């Protein structure tokens, strides 16, 4: 078995011809540039690109296959320049009968299956050219279409207060999917503001694998979160077995932001712009008494959880807290460039580089910051309401309680 690094949720900003795909994503986030970033700078083995059902992206994929830069693998996926494997996927927004909506990612083994899915969804989505568009279906029916085409269906950022199964739709997946679908869904994506300890307060998730993916909207954000999978090789078939824990394949580690750094960890009041630091769940603003709050992930899970403390099943891998280099105080573009030139990839800096070597490259103080981040000992200010939390080195920098 091999251990591979996988980030299974990456967006495309533009097609190779410059057509917009994900409006909020960077213009240089093209299919080809994602592949190059994964190989050259990030050092990851497998990437899931979630806007592949767009006809413009399908054309880009066809061109890359025809040029020989990418080849289809018999076990599913595309291999870029003989190195990184790319999984073809589509993120769509569903509409539930109660008016709520959520995002889900459908992954496909082959280019032909992706094309079939795209054709079927073109009748149900107003503008399939663009990313994460709303389809006129509840999640159960989107699962049925994905399953019929041979795809793998996974709820995205499952706890966030916007467009997620637990955050906006239901208290339990069993309220949303029938037993056949529930048995087939192998994993959920935790999202930035949740971790394994929080998710494992829900009893119904005990048999489901957890994924930590970046949901990258720019090239530098790729592999901000990622997973370590134990598989024979990086292919669609092996990933599906790993998520279902079959034949010795499995997820062996989740690497993600400390939830406090996520955009939606704590309840936020848009009326007075206050991120609530008090004991969860906070369902009303303690400063101005407004009930129109954006409920934080921590607060939502304290509200709907079966247990106050996590109950981890035996198969659950460790959750490794990671502070990406871009989040670290004092590491800007120039310093990041020095580190990548010296150590090759961000993964090497975050996990393998020696403190002495980092100090020789960017100085002793920044080397200490990297080591603190690696050890999980940096003080953090919690995020909420669409604002990231942050790592700080000086408690005088903040008026918020440090968490």
Beta bridge partners of 27: none
Please tell me the distance from the alpha carbon of residue 279 to that of residue 294, in angstroms, as a whole number. 16
pLDDT for position 139: 97
Digit-by-digit pLDDT tens for the chain (403 residues) are: 999 999 999 999 999 889 999 988 899 999 999 999 998 888 899 999 999 999 999 999 999 999 999 999 999 999 998 889 999 999 999 999 889 999 999 999 999 999 999 999 999 998 899 888 889 899 999 999 999 999 999 999 999 998 999 999 999 999 999 999 999 999 999 998 899 999 999 999 999 999 999 999 999 889 889 999 999 999 999 999 999 999 999 999 999 888 888 888 999 999 999 988 889 999 999 999 999 999 999 999 999 999 999 999 999 999 988 777 877 888 888 998 899 899 887 778 888 899 999 999 999 999 988 888 887 777 777 777 777 777 776 544 444 433 3
Domain ranges of the chain: 2-259
Phi, psi of 177 (to 5 degrees): -125, 150
Which two tokens mark 89? 């996927």
pLDDT for position 393: 66
Long-range contacts of 389-394 (CB under 8 A, 24+ apart): 389/258, 389/260, 389/261, 389/262, 389/265, 390/261, 390/327, 391/261, 391/323, 391/327, 391/328, 391/329, 392/329, 393/329, 393/330, 393/369
CA angle 313–315–320, rounded 5-degree value:
95
Does residue 199 contact residue 205 with C-beta atoms inside 8 Å?
A: yes
Q: Which residues contact 4 (CB under 8 A, 6 or more apart)?
A: 45, 46, 228, 229, 231, 234
**For domain 2-259, which architecture applies?**
Alpha-Beta Barrel (3.20)
- Reported pTM: 0.89
Pair type for strands 84-95 and 46-49: parallel
Please tell me the distance from the alpha carbon of residue 14 to that of residue 31, in angstroms, as a whole number. 8
Does residue 251 contact residue 211 with C-beta atoms inside 8 Å?
A: yes
Please tell me the distance from the alpha carbon of residue 283 to that of residue 304, in angstroms, as a whole number. 12
Please tell me the distance from the alpha carbon of residue 262 to that of residue 218, in angstroms, as a whole number. 16
pLDDT for position 325: 82
**Integer-rounded Cα radius of gyration of the chain:** 21
pLDDT for position 399: 41
């Amino acid at each position: 078995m091999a251990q591979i690094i996988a980030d299974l949720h990456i967006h495309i900003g533009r097609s190779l011809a410059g057509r917009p795909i994900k409006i909020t994503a960077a213009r240089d986030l093209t299919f080809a540039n994602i592949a190059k970033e994964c190989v050259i700078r990030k050092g990851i083995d497998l990437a899931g690109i979630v806007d592949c059902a767009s006809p413009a992206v399908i054309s880009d994929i066809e061109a890359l296959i025809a040029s020989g830069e990418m080849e289809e693998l018999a076990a599913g996926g595309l291999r870029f320049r003989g190195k990184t494997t790319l999984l073809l996927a589509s993120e769509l927004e569903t509409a539930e009968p109660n008016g709520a909506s959520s995002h889900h990612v459908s992954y496909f083994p082959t280019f032909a299956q992706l094309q079939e899915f795209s054709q079927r969804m073109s009748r149900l989505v107003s503008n399939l050219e663009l990313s994460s568009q709303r389809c006129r279906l509840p999640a159960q029916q989107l699962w049925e279409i994905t399953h019929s085409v041979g795809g793998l269906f996974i709820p995205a950022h499952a706890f966030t207060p916007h467009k997620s199964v637990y955050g906006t739709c239901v208290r339990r997946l069993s309220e949303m999917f029938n037993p056949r679908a529930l048995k087939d869904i192998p994993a959920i994506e935790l999202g930035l503001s949740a971790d394994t300890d929080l998710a494992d307060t829900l009893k119904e998730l005990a048999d489901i694998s957890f994924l930590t993916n970046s949901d990258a909207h720019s090239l530098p954000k790729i592999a901000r979160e990622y997973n370590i999978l134990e598989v024979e090789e990086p292919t669609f078939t092996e990933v599906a077995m790993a998520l279902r824990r079959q034949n010795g394949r499995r997820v062996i580690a989740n690497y993600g932001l400390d939830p406090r750094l996520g955009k939606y960890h704590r309840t936020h009041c848009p009326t007075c712009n206050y991120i609530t630091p008090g004991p969860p769940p906070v369902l009303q603003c303690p400063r101005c008494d407004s009930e129109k709050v954006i409920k934080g992930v921590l607060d939502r899970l304290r509200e709907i959880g079966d247990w106050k403390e996590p109950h981890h099943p035996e198969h659950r891998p460790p959750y490794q807290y990671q502070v990406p280099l871009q989040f670290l105080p004092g590491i800007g573009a120039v310093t990041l460039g020095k580190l990548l030139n010296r150590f090759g990839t961000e993964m090497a800096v975050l996990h393998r580089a020696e403190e002495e070597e980092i100090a020789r490259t960017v100085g002793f103080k920044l080397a200490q910051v990297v080591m603190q981040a690696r050890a999980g000992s940096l003080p953090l200010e919690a995020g909420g309401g669409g604002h990231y939390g942050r790592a700080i080195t000086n408690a005088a920098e903040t008026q918020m309680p440090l968490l």
